[in-house]
Amino acid sequence: MRLRNIPGARETIAESPWTVKEPAALKGHWNSLFEKPQPLHLEIGTGKGRFIMQLAAEHPEINYIGIEKYSSVLIRCLEKQDQLQLANLRFVRGDAELLTDYFAEGEISKIYLNFSDPWPKERHARRRLPSRTFLQKYDTVLAEGGTIEFKTDNRVLFDFAVEEVGESAFEISAVTYDLHHDPVMNEGNIMTEYEERFSAKGNAINKYILVRRKNLDQK
């Protein structure tokens, strides 16, 4: 999602009390940002933020961080957060490429990827957020027992994502190719902006949940 350039967006983000200006400076200390030290959950590519805001409102016992690459998109999150003032939610305008610069080993408990950009050209496969390149980064920052939840209506991207798991430190603990008609996996589902748009067109939503293989082996 890349919206038209919004004049002043960068300045608004720089001045907002809800954004983290130097994420790498907080590496290993993210909980110092919040009122209470609690598990940290991350959404990467948070878009306009509806998903993470609803989650944060429903789960005050979790601290949430939304990472979004583009100022023109993130600014929409900040407009809503200015009204909601959710104490357990902060945003980073940043790139998931730098995840291991931002977070210490094991600092995150859960990662959400929602309707990630498909990067359809093969030469761009490494940029796909569920690729093995990114799964390695997620493995570094996730705590023991950490999980990844990924949703998309793009079946080609989803099939690629499922294949990539085989090359990673993760295992699929649950999967569906039609989330909204899967009563178990759909329980408590929060729709993202893209999910609402594409399911309204009749597209089925795919979802997997990953857990780290080494954690499974220890059971």
- The residue within the footprint of ligand SAM, chosen from 19, 41, 42, 47 (CB under 6 A), is 47
Cα distance between residue 90 and residue 199, in whole Å? 28
Catalytic residue at 117?
yes
Q: Between 49 and 88, how does the x/- string for binding to ligand SAM read (CB under 6 A)?
A: ------------------xxxx--x---------------
- Residue with tokens 């030290």, as numbered in its chain: 37
Comparing CA positions, the residue from 48, 87, 80 lying closest to residue 64 is 87
Report how far Cα 100 is from the mean position of its chain's Cα atoms: 15
Helix (H, G, I), strand (E, B) or coil at 149: strand
Task: Pick the closer one to ligand SAM by CB: 68 or 107.
Answer: 68
- The residue within the footprint of ligand SAM, chosen from 27, 80, 95, 143 (CB under 6 A), is 95
Q: Which range binds ligand SAM by CB under 6 A, 5-13, 38-46, 56-64, 208-216?
A: 38-46
Smallest separation (angstroms) from ligand SAM to the CB of 188: 17
Determine if residue 145 is left, alpha or beta; phi over 0 gives left, psi from -120 to 50 gives alpha, anything else beta.
Answer: left
Residues 103-132 interacting with ligand SAM (rule: CB under 6 A): 114-117
The DSSP 8-state label assigned to residue 54 in this structure reads: H
Smallest separation (angstroms) from ligand SAM to the CB of 23: 12
- Residue with tokens 């300045």, as numbered in its chain: 11
Cα distance between residue 93 and residue 150, in whole Å? 21
Catalytic residue among 101, 117, 159, 217: 117
- Residue 23 as a binder of ligand SAM (CB under 6 A): the answer is no
Give backbone dihedrals phi and psi of 148, rounded to 5 degrees, phi first. -125, 130
Neighbour count for residue 84 (Cβ, 10 Å): 14
- Residue 194 as a binder of ligand SAM (CB under 6 A): the answer is yes
Catalytic residues: 117
Residues that bind ligand SAM (CB under 6 A): 1, 44-47, 67-70, 73, 95-97, 114-117, 192-195
